[in-house]
Structure 1
Amino acid sequence: MMTLLAIFFPSLSFLLRGKLLTALLCLILQITLIGWIPAAVWAVLSLQNARADRRNAKLIKVVKSK
């Protein structure tokens, strides 16, 4: 669901994750039709990186607890 939001509304995706300045920069980029594609790719990659960071933090926590 969040990935579709990142594709169709890239700046909103950043805004919902609390990245205000990034959302503003993304909004400026997506105002142009040509800039929409890079903004969408940027938002999806950022979302995937955030998910990977959370997953890695959980793994590190489990390894440290053993």
Structure 2
Amino acid sequence: MRLLIALIFPWLTFFTIGRPIAGVMCLLLQITLIGWLPATIWAVYALSQYKTDKKIQKAFSGR
């Protein structure tokens, strides 16, 4: 679901993963038509890093 949000509303993705300042910066980038694609790529990348961090935390908490 977050991936779909990252593609349609990239700025909203940052708010869902707890990075509101990056969300505001992404919104400013997304406002321009040229900035839409970089904002989307940035949001998808940040989402993948968030998922990786959660998996690492889960792996270390099980020890």
Tell me whether the two structures share a fold, i.e. TM-score over 0.5.
yes
- TM-score, normalised by the number of residues in structure 1: 0.86
Aligned counterparts of 1:10 and 1:40: Cα–Cα separation in 2: 5
Structure number with the bigger relative contact order (C-alpha 8 A, sep ≥ 6) is 2
Instruction: Please tell me whether residue 19 in structure 1 is matched to residue 40 in structure 2.
Output: no
- Quote the RMSD (CA, aligned, Å): 1.0
* Identity of matched residues, %: 41
> Any stretches of 5+ residues in structure 2 without a counterpart?
none
Aligned counterparts of 1:11 and 1:60: Cα–Cα separation in 2: 30
Higher share in helix: 1
The structure 1 segments of at least 4 consecutive aligned residues displaced by more than 6 Å after TM superposition are none
CA deviation after TM superposition for structure 1 residue 55, in Å: 0.4
Question: Which has the higher Rg, Structure 1 or Structure 2?
Answer: 1
Aligned counterparts of 1:17 and 1:60: Cα–Cα separation in 2: 20
What is the total number of aligned residue pairs between the two structures? 63
